[in-house]
Chains A and B, each alone.
Chain A
Amino acid sequence: MKKIELFIFYLPMFVLLNACVEVNSLIDLTPPSAGSLDQLIMDSTFASSPIPAAQMKNVLIEDFTGDKCDNCPFAQTKGIDIEVANPDRVSVVGIQCTSLDVPYLTTFDLRTPHGDDLLGLEGVPVGLPQGDVDRKIYSGNSNSLMSDYNWAGYVSTELGLPTIANINQVSKSYDPSSRIFSMLMNVTFTQSSTDTFHISTALTESGMIGPQETPNGVDQTFQFEHVLRKMMSPWNGLQIAASPVGGKTCQVKFNTVLDSKWVADSCRVVTFVHRCGTKNDVEQVMETTLK
């Protein structure tokens, strides 16, 4: 009888305790390898008083491209033209991510681990080149992707909109010997919002020479511009605020180690604050050099 009671008592206990065991593979606990010592840390939050005036809104273009896409060089040129026409107001990030990016040369692969994730966030492309402006889904579109000839118009619209998030660089440093780049930024919300905001940081490099398909055949000496080398944040950003109130300031710092093949003088950091959830709209963008 005692054994039956023990069995009745302990069996459910064992099952219950065992049922509490969870599987969660989302967390990366592996020590970072050299060249990937990225850290993006939400350092602190505080209230700014008085609430600062809103900055002028800058705009992000994400250009999904590939070296086997013969029209993609035109999109790269279009992005550069828009940047030049709006100095310090527009940042372009070229993302190599689809089957059209299978490299011609195994030694020249511009794909990144999160390129496909970023494209998945925006939608399914109807072929390349495609891109988004501030990750917004504009009226009449089913997703945020659009052809490059539409970018200039939407960029013009976005530049005239107000923003509720100011991004200010507090400090930055680059150590050529260790190749470690560090930056401290403040994001200040100038108005309250019920949305959730993330911050993303992308490292881009320009000036690499390699093969690229064009309408006239493969150009072996094509110059690639503002190519995404890596996301230094999680690919969809780090959450910095949910329902922020006006004046909330989030101080974010990050470190990254540059790959030995990347030219520091040709690298830039594009930081942007964006919503996360049903909308992914970019609220503000800041671009800076490493030095």
Chain B
Amino acid sequence: MAKKLILIIFILSAVGVRAQDDGKGHLSGDVMINTTVYDRDTVIGTNTTQYLHEKSSAEAWFTLNYRIDGWSFMTRFDLYNNSPLLNPSEAYTNQGLAFFQIDKKIDKWEFTAGHFYDQFGSGILFRAYEDRLIGIDYAIEGVRVAYTPTDSTMIKAFTGEQKNRFGLWPQVMKGINAEQIWGIGNVNMLTGAGFLNRTLDQATMNSLANDINALPLSERFIPKYNMYAGTIYNTLTYKGFSLYTEYAKKTREAVFITDPTTNDVTLQNLDGDVIYTGLNYSFYGFGVTLQYKKINTFIMRTTPYATLLDGIMDYLPALSRQNSLRLPALYSVSAQSQGEQGVQGDVTYSIDKRNSFDVNGSYINAPNGIALYREVFGEYIKTFSKRVKGEFGAQSLVYNFQVYEGHPGDVVHTITPFVEMSIRLDDPNKLSPDVSEGKQPLRPSLRFELQYLSTKQDSGSYAYALVELNLAPRYSFAVSDMYNIIPAHATADKINYYSAFFAYTQKQTRFTIGYAKQVAGVVCTGGVCRVEPAFSGVRAGISTNF
């Protein structure tokens, strides 16, 4: 680690001297620091190690980019102190340079060494990305070459190993991807193909051999060191239409399969494939999206022994609406790499500038026909005036608790009506005087949310209310309560999950602090989810960029 630091400081300072000579260099970066203080609450079940022992935790990321003459240098310092972010049941402590990259563009070529993020097509075959909110960092450490012979043609290839916290998974990955833009008349196409190979290391193969030799003879198989996978995809656009289609397939390899009804885990030798298609059409205030996806054991991990969100090499888009309101988002889902089949449709229609509708439906089954997820969502958005805007809607869903949360539980059926109102308290017709930002007048507004989730399963029904006062662009205050109004079990306590939040923004720097009690459940961003335990405590954070 020290060697990495010295190398990067040396390169940055060497190039920095030159940058000062010709003045073309550009330095940028961002910082994010989060800290949490844990307040044990045995009623809501906060019993992870942070509540018992460490009592506080922190995470931080400091990214530095430097660009000059086609060169790009990037490095990032990561810190985790007693952190549950990477594994909710662990207090993880480590810090150091977690990301470094050197990139050079030469004419139509681009060369990258170190860590990099990338994806092929939609990411179904390969996607290296970071989502620090749920503790994901799938950067690849290796080398990458990209060649763009024309504006419509791109070829890239890489080889490396996936990052695993501050180290690497020992399995080697390599891939190649090519895309071509072409068309016939008004019909435009982007056609691509990708290929990925992952090789198991000997230690992993020894573990597999160990496990396979313990199976009954009839269930044993010869595991492969190499997994090969390929994809072809195409985006067709014609006027307001856009049609995306992709088919990806992988060769047989050893994978652990969980029985969705019993949670039994078995080691099997399976190949897999994915069909994914999405149709979009938009025309004067009317928009429609239809998606279909079928996954057949498309488990893409660096090693079959990787668990939770570790070692995932691809991104499978979820066929569900990304809800932002608290209760409609309480039962969110991610795609099941082990297998699922489903459709999703979304229709938006704006009658005029003041009235619009959004209707969404999702229908997802497991390969054996078991219902995984159903959602019907409807929303009416009404702009009453320049000051007042309201959203009124309801959601109904069916959620296979056992599959998505990994432990026994009844299928959850919910109905969730909601209202959201935004009210500007200043006069929107009054123009702001042209003053410097530091003396800019504050623009007050209020936002209310009222939601009610009705269910007889899981922990029962909830009511939720939020009041938020914004003094844009600097201050934001919010208080909310999620109340377990009708617990599923009559003897259970009616628990309040209340929270208070404050944010202060100064130019690009934002400071937040809040006290919250949060129910255990799934937390999702961008269709990727993880199960989190209940939370009780204070969270504070600061973020900026420069």
| Contact assessment for A44 and B264 in the assembled complex, using a CB-CB cutoff below 8 Å | yes
- Least Cβ–Cβ distance between A53 and chain B, in angstroms: 14
A239 at the interface (CB under 8 A from B): yes
Task: Type the 1/0 row for A2-27, where 1 means its CB is closer than 8 Å to any CB of B.
Answer: 00000000000000000010101011
| Contact assessment for B263 and A39 in the assembled complex, using a CB-CB cutoff below 8 Å | no
A39 touches which of B214, B224, B226 (Cβ 8 Å): B214
Given A24-B222, A246-B89, A42–B205 Cβ distance below 8 Å? Answer: no
| Contact assessment for B214 and A238 in the assembled complex, using a CB-CB cutoff below 8 Å | yes
B221 at the interface (CB under 8 A from A): yes
Q: CA of A198 to CA of B211 in the docked complex: distance in angstroms?
A: 10
| Contact assessment for B220 and A40 in the assembled complex, using a CB-CB cutoff below 8 Å | no
Task: Type the 1/0 row for B7-42, where 1 means its CB is closer than 8 Å to any CB of A.
Answer: 000000000000000000000000000000000000
B225 at the interface (CB under 8 A from A): yes
A192 touches which of B90, B212, B215 (Cβ 8 Å): B90
Task: Type the 1/0 row for B212-241, where 1 means its CB is closer than 8 Å to any CB of A.
Answer: 111111001111111010000000000000
A43 at the interface (CB under 8 A from B): yes
Q: Which residue of A lies closest to B264 (CB)?
A: A44
A32 at the interface (CB under 8 A from B): yes
- Least Cβ–Cβ distance between B235 and chain A, in angstroms: 29
Interface residue ranges of A161-184 to B (CB < 8 Å):
none
A245 at the interface (CB under 8 A from B): yes
A-B contact count (CB 8 A): 83
- Least Cβ–Cβ distance between A20 and chain B, in angstroms: 7
Task: Type the 1/0 row for B304-343, where 1 means its CB is closer than 8 Å to any CB of A.
Answer: 0101100000000000000000000000000000000000
Which residues of A lie under 8 Å from residue B406 when comparing CB positions? 47
Q: CA of A276 to CA of B207 in the docked complex: distance in angstroms?
A: 10
Which residues of B lie under 8 Å from residue A42 when comparing CB positions? 211, 214, 265, 267
Q: CA of A24 to CA of B205 in the docked complex: distance in angstroms?
A: 9
Interface residue ranges of B44-99 to A (CB < 8 Å):
49, 87, 89-90
Q: CA of A27 to CA of B216 in the docked complex: distance in angstroms?
A: 12
Q: CA of A264 to CA of B225 in the docked complex: distance in angstroms?
A: 42
| Contact assessment for A44 and B225 in the assembled complex, using a CB-CB cutoff below 8 Å | no
A28 at the interface (CB under 8 A from B): yes
Q: Which residue of A lies closest to B212 (CB)?
A: A27
B210 at the interface (CB under 8 A from A): yes
Given A27-B221, A40-B214, A20–B226 Cβ distance below 8 Å? Answer: yes
Q: Which residue of B lies closest to A50 (CB)?
A: B47
Q: How large is the interface on A (under 10, 10 to 19, 20 to 34, 35 or more residues)?
A: 20 to 34
Task: Type the 1/0 row for A209-249, where 1 means its CB is closer than 8 Å to any CB of B.
Answer: 00000000000000000000000011011110011011000
B368 at the interface (CB under 8 A from A): no
Which residues of A lie under 8 Å from residue B220 when comparing CB positions? 27-29
- Least Cβ–Cβ distance between B257 and chain A, in angstroms: 12
Q: CA of A276 to CA of B216 in the docked complex: distance in angstroms?
A: 23
| Contact assessment for A243 and B307 in the assembled complex, using a CB-CB cutoff below 8 Å | yes
B228 touches which of A20, A45, A46, A237 (Cβ 8 Å): A20
Q: Which residue of B lies closest to A38 (CB)?
A: B214
| Contact assessment for B217 and A32 in the assembled complex, using a CB-CB cutoff below 8 Å | yes
- Least Cβ–Cβ distance between B336 and chain A, in angstroms: 18
A41 at the interface (CB under 8 A from B): yes
Given A39-B214, A46-B263, A239–B222 Cβ distance below 8 Å? Answer: no
Which residues of B lie under 8 Å from residue A192 when comparing CB positions? 49, 87, 89-90
| Contact assessment for A39 and B222 in the assembled complex, using a CB-CB cutoff below 8 Å | no
A45 touches which of B206, B210, B225, B263 (Cβ 8 Å): B263
Which residues of A lie under 8 Å from residue B221 when comparing CB positions? 27
| Contact assessment for B205 and A26 in the assembled complex, using a CB-CB cutoff below 8 Å | yes
Which residues of A lie under 8 Å from residue B207 when comparing CB positions? 196, 239, 276
Q: CA of A233 to CA of B90 in the docked complex: distance in angstroms?
A: 30
Interface residue ranges of B279-319 to A (CB < 8 Å):
305, 307-308
- Least Cβ–Cβ distance between A254 and chain B, in angstroms: 9
Which residues of B lie under 8 Å from residue A27 when comparing CB positions? 209, 212-213, 220-223
Q: CA of A236 to CA of B205 in the docked complex: distance in angstroms?
A: 14
A153 at the interface (CB under 8 A from B): no
B214 touches which of A20, A41, A242, A243 (Cβ 8 Å): A41
Which residues of B lie under 8 Å from residue A47 when comparing CB positions? 406-407
- Least Cβ–Cβ distance between B83 and chain A, in angstroms: 13
A43 touches which of B206, B217, B224, B264 (Cβ 8 Å): B264
A22 touches which of B211, B214, B217, B225 (Cβ 8 Å): B225
Task: Type the 1/0 row for B403-414, where 1 means its CB is closer than 8 Å to any CB of A.
Answer: 000111000000
A26 touches which of B209, B226, B307, B407 (Cβ 8 Å): B209
Which residues of A lie under 8 Å from residue B152 when comparing CB positions? none
Which residues of B lie under 8 Å from residue A44 when comparing CB positions? 262-265
Other A-B pairs, 9, CB within 8 Å; known A31-B217, A239-B207:
A24-B222, A42-B267, A44-B264, A47-B406, A49-B407, A196-B207, A236-B210, A238-B210, A246-B89
- 27 A-B pairs in the complex with CB atoms less than 8 angstroms apart: A20-B228, A24-B205, A24-B223, A26-B205, A26-B206, A27-B212, A27-B222, A28-B213, A28-B220, A31-B217, A32-B217, A39-B214, A42-B211, A45-B265, A46-B407, A47-B407, A194-B87, A194-B90, A196-B305, A233-B214, A236-B210, A237-B210, A242-B307, A243-B87, A243-B308, A245-B89, A246-B89
Question: What are the 4 A-B residue pairs with the smallest beta carbon separation, nearest first?
Answer: A26-B209, A192-B89, A44-B264, A234-B210
Q: Which residues of B contact A (CB under 8 A)?
A: 49, 87, 89-90, 205-207, 209-217, 220-226, 228, 262-265, 267, 305, 307-308, 406-408
